Structure formats: structure tokens, C-alpha cells
Amino acid sequence: MTFAITYKPLFEVKILHLYYLNKGDVEFFSMNDNDKEKQLAGYDISTFFRIVPTSVTQNKLEGHKLVFKRHTSGFTIWVNVSEVDESTPLIALDDTLELSFLLKLNAHTFFNLTHLDLSNAGKLFFFSNKRLNTESPGFPLVPLSSGKLAVNDDFIASSDGEKQVLKELTSAEKNGLFGVIRVSMKGENASLNVTDAQQKISEPFASFQLLFENRKTYWRYFFNTDQKVKKNKDDVDFEDGNPRQLVTNEEHPLTEKGFVSIELDGAELPNPDANMIKPNGADNKIYSEIYM
């Protein structure tokens, strides 16, 4: 007699960042399928995040015959299922089962290139299909992959919520921590459930998504000589009347790939990278600087 060991996806979490997926001012979601595939071909979240289960969750995974599998756009949890019914986990998943995963920063420029408030660097972001009991009813829940809701600063845990989450982590787990993803078998509402009323795998299996928007900045150019600007035609203008210091008339997106056309007297100016940005409290704007 032979026995087949079968694993099925229990749920997945996708992580998309538009700094890496947009192409200049061409948005990823506006691309055709072929162009999307090209953008995704070189995409890997390990560029900016390291995802690991907490030590407590690792024990739960092993005890329930669950497997954590990373991929370039997130991770999937696989479950060992019954030979009789492949929608039934071999080991029952109780409705109260919760699995937590650490989001650790791999890129020191993450807040430079991400549309989040710079002052919130170091605070704990919390993504879950079920709210902490410390949070208000308006605290956002982790979005499903079927939508395009972007991560914003509302996902920051309250002071009490942060304390509750961090007390469950070791000192090493807290180092370099950006956020925590926590998935419960039963979500805040039925659309966010991982298992159904009979504790079987939801059909289709639950798919969550964290979408990070890329930052837009004003682009400031420094020249060694005086420049001439054609009003209502060029994409830049003198800053404070200085003919050697020009700034774009509007914000432009920072992206890893592609090119945004910024014209000055018929020539195109270079695009900045995300290594350095300059917030200006006086005008509440953020600038990227380029020395010509």
C-alpha cells in the first residue's frame, strides 16, 4: 500500500512595490499583461524586505504540518491535506489559530522610495485579517489581492497595540522590524477567512496583498552656469529666482526603471535616484536633488 503526501495552498500574501514595478510615469496596473510580466520578471521583494515566521509561529507551522514558502513577490503557506478530501487539512486548524510573520527592512532607502510619512520610520506597521483588541473599529484590515488598496500610515499600530505585539517577540526578532503580518484562520469578516465553517481550506484559497506606492518628489537641479527657462513650456522653473537652481513645476514619481521626461530648452534632464531626498518643512514638500 502506498501513501501520497499532498500539500495544498492554505493562503498567500503578495507584496507589491510600485517603485520597482512602475516604469517611469507608466503605472504597473495600466500595463498590458506582457509588460506586467516583464516588470515582474526582475522583481524580488528581498530587495527591500526579509520575511520570516516568528519563533512561536514556526512551532505552530511544524505542529500543524504547514510549510512556509517564500517567493519573489511574497510567500505562501502550504498545508498537508487528507487523502480522502484534499480540502481538509490533515491536522485540524482551529478557528483561533494565528500565524505571524516579521517584515524586516533590507533597504535603508525604503522610506525614501515609499509613499509613507517619513516621521513614521521606526513605528510598527501591523497587517492582519483580524484587528488587535487594542485598535479602534476603523483600523484597516489587510487587503485582498483582488483590490488595489495601498498601504498607508493608518496601518501603524497604536502604542498599546505595539506593546502587545512586541512582547510576543524575542529581542532578535525586534531588530530591523518594519511590521508584522498576522493571519488568523477566521478573519474579521467572512471575506477574510482562511478556512470555512467546517475548517476546510477556503475555495479559492485566501490571497492577501500589501501594495506599496512609490514616493513622488519635486526634482531640484543645480547648474554651474545660468539657465534660461521658457515659461509654460519647460518642465522646470527658477527656484527663488536663482537661474542656477531649477525645480520641477510638479511632483514626479521615483522609480527603479523607466524615464520621466523633464524638458529644459528642448533638452531632457536626468532623473534622480532614491538614495537621498530632502524634506522641506517650510513648504511641506519633499525634494530630490541633482547636480548637473
Q: Could you state, in order of their start, the residue ranges of all structural domains in the chain?
A: 6-212, 216-291
Residue 123 pLDDT more than 50? yes
pLDDT of 184 reads 98
Q: What pLDDT sits at residue 1? A: 44
Q: Residue 7: pLDDT above 80?
A: yes
Please report the pLDDT score of residue 3 as a whole number: 61
Can you tell me the distance from the alpha carbon of 270 to that of 178, in angstroms, rounded to the nearest whole number? 32
pLDDT for res 220: 97
As a whole number of angstroms, the distance between CA 85 and CA 226 comes to: 75
Q: Is pLDDT above 50 for 6?
A: yes
Q: What is the mean pLDDT of residues 108-113?
A: 95
**Rounded mean pLDDT of 15-42?**
95
pLDDT tens sequence across 257-282: 999 999 999 899 999 999 999 999 88
Kindly tell me if the per-residue pLDDT of 182 is higher than 50.
yes
39-94 pLDDT per residue, tens: 999 899 999 999 999 999 999 999 999 999 999 999 999 999 998 899 999 999 99
Q: What torsion do the CA atoms of 57, 59, 61, 63 make, to the nearest 10 degrees?
A: -140
pLDDT of residue 281: 84
Rounded distance between C-alpha atoms, residue 206 and residue 117, angstroms: 30
- The pLDDT score that the predictor gives to residue 282 is 85
Q: Specify the pLDDT at position 39.
A: 93
CA dihedral 253→102→131→146, nearest 10 degrees, is 50
Dig out the grid coordinates for 177 from the structure: 522590524
Bridge-partner residues for 77, per DSSP?
11, 68
Cell numbers standing for residue 145? 489581492
The confidence score (pLDDT) of residue 5 equals: 81
Phi-psi region of 191 (alpha: psi -120 to 50; beta: other; left: phi over 0): alpha
